[in-house]
Amino acid sequence: MTSTKTRELTLFALTWPIFIESGLQMFMRIADTFMLSQVSDDAVAAVGVANQIIQMAMLVFAFVSIGSAVVVSQYLGARRESELGRLAGSSVGVNFLFGAALSALVVSLSGPLLHIFGLDPTLFHLAQRYLYVAGGALFIQAVLTALVAIIQSYGYTRQTMMVALGMNVLNVIGNCFFIYGLLGVPKLGVTGVAISTATSQCIGLVVYFILLRKVSGAPVLWRYFVRWRKEHVKKVLRIGIPSSAVTLSYSASQFVILAFIATLGAQMMTTKVYTQNIMFIVMILAQSLGRGGQILVGRKIGAGQRELAYREVFANLRRSLLITLAGVCVLCLVRIPLLQLFTRDHEIVSLGATLLLLSFLLEPGRNFNVILEKSLQAAGDAKYPMTVSIAVTWLFSLPLTYLLGIRLEYGLLGMWSAFIVDEWLRGIILFFRWKSRKWENKSLVRRRDEAETRAAL
C-alpha cells in the first residue's frame, strides 16, 4: 500500500467510500428487518425495540473513535508515524474496556431495560433473547468502531467500505441459515439474527486488524492494547468527549421534538418519519463530507500548515454545498413517487412534498454546520462547537420549534422552519469561529513537537 507520507488525499476520494459504508451499515439493519418480516411481525418489533438499547450504548463508543480519528490525522500530518502503533493500541484498548462494561450491563440489566418499553410478554422474551447475544457482543462493535475510525484517518476509506460490504454479505447469508433453516440449520429467529450479526462482526474484526497492520507506519503490538500511554488517552478524550456530547445532545433534542410532533397526531408523525427517511441519504452525505474534510484538515493542522488548513475548509464548504444541493435536487425531482412508495394518503404526500422542497434551505445549512463543526474538531477546538450546539439547541432552537409548530399552530411547516434557522445559526457562529483563527492554538501536536517535525523535514 502507498505510504502515508506520500499518499495524496482529496475530499471526493475520501468521502464517497465513507458515504457508501454508512449506507451499508443502514442496509444491515434493513436486511435484518426485512428478512424477519417474512417470518413474524412480533420478531421485527422485538428486534426494533432491542436495537434502541444497542444504539444508545453505541453512542458511548463514539467518545474514543471520534477522538482517535482526529489525533491520528494530526500525528500523520506531523509525520509521527512511530507513535501511531501505540496510539492505536491505546484507543482500541480503551474502547474494548467501554464495550466489555456495556456488554455486561446490557446482558445483566436486559430485563429492567426492556420493561421501560412496556412490552407484552411475547415481545419481551423475544427482545431479551436478542439482547443476550447482541448486547453480549457489544465489545466487538466497540473495537470495530475504533479500528474503522483509525484506518479511515490513514486515508484508506475504500478498504473499510469493502470490509463493510463483506460483513453485509456474511450477515445476509447467516440470516438465511438461521431464519429460514437452510441445509438443516435450526431456525433460531431473533436469536439467529443476533448470532449472524455478531459472527459477521467477528470476521470483520479480524480483517480490520490485518488491515491496520498493513496501513500503519509502525507495528501494533499486543501489549499496546493493555499498556496505554496517558498522553494519548488524554488527547483522544479531549476531542472525543466534547464531540460525542454534540451527538448526545442532538439525540436527546430529537426525543423532545418527537414528543412535540406526537401532540399533532399520528398523521403528522407519519409524515415526519417518511420525509426524514427520504432525506436520510442527503444527511448521510453531509456527515460523510464532514468526515472526509476532517481527515484533510487534521493532516494539515498536524503538519503545522495552518494557512492551508484555513483555506481548505472554505474550499470544502464550496464543494460540499454543491454536492449537497445536487443531491437535494435529485430527490426533490422524484419526491412524489418516493413518498407514494410509503403511502397513498394525499395529505401526507402533499405535506411531505412541501417539506422536501424546504430541504433546499435545510440541507445546505446542515452541511455548512457539519463541515465547520468537524473542521474545528480536527483542529483540536472541540469544546467550542460543543458549547454552541448545546446552547443553541436547548436555549433557542427547541423553544422556537415549540413556538412555531405548537403555539402558533404552523405544525410541521413551522417546525421545519425552526430546523432551518437552527442549522444556519449554528453554522454561521462556527463560521466566524473559524474566521477568527482562535483554533490555531488548540492543536494536539505541541509546539515542541512541531519544531521537531520541521527539523526532521
Q: Could you tell me which of 421, 357, 426 has the C-alpha nearest to residue 388?
A: 426
26-46 per-position pLDDT tens digit:
777 777 777 777 667 777 777
C-alpha–C-alpha distance, residues 404 and 421, integer Å: 12
- pLDDT score recorded for residue 190: 84
- Name the packing angle between helices 335-342 and 266-302 (round to 10°): 120
Whether 448 has a pLDDT exceeding 50, the answer reads no
DSSP code of 397? I
38 is written with which cell numbers?
417474512
The residue type at 108 = S
75-89 per-position pLDDT tens digit:
888 888 778 888 888
Whether the CB-CB separation of 197 and 28 falls below 8 Å is answered with yes
How far, in Å, are 130, 138, 251 from residue 196 at the CA level?
Answer: 11, 14, 28
C-alpha–C-alpha distance, residues 206 and 334, integer Å: 42
Which band of pLDDT confidence, cut at 50, 70 and 90, is reported for residue 7? low
Which band of pLDDT confidence, cut at 50, 70 and 90, is reported for residue 219? low
Identify which has the larger pLDDT, 152 or 258. Answer: 152
Whether 452 has a pLDDT exceeding 50, the answer reads no
Other Cβ atoms closer than 10 A to 398: 18
CB burial class (10 A; 0-12, 13-18, 19+) of residue 25?
Answer: middle
C-alpha–C-alpha distance, residues 311 and 315, integer Å: 6
Whether 449 has a pLDDT exceeding 80, the answer reads no
Which band of pLDDT confidence, cut at 50, 70 and 90, is reported for residue 453? very low
CB burial class (10 A; 0-12, 13-18, 19+) of residue 173?
Answer: middle
Other Cβ atoms closer than 10 A to 210: 10
305-363 per-position pLDDT tens digit:
999 999 999 999 999 999 999 999 999 999 999 888 878 889 989 999 999 999 999 99
- Three-state secondary-structure class, residue 155: coil
C-alpha–C-alpha distance, residues 152 and 355, integer Å: 34
| Domains present along the chain, CATH in parentheses | 11-228 (1.10.357), 238-448 (no CATH)
204 is written with which cell numbers?
470483520
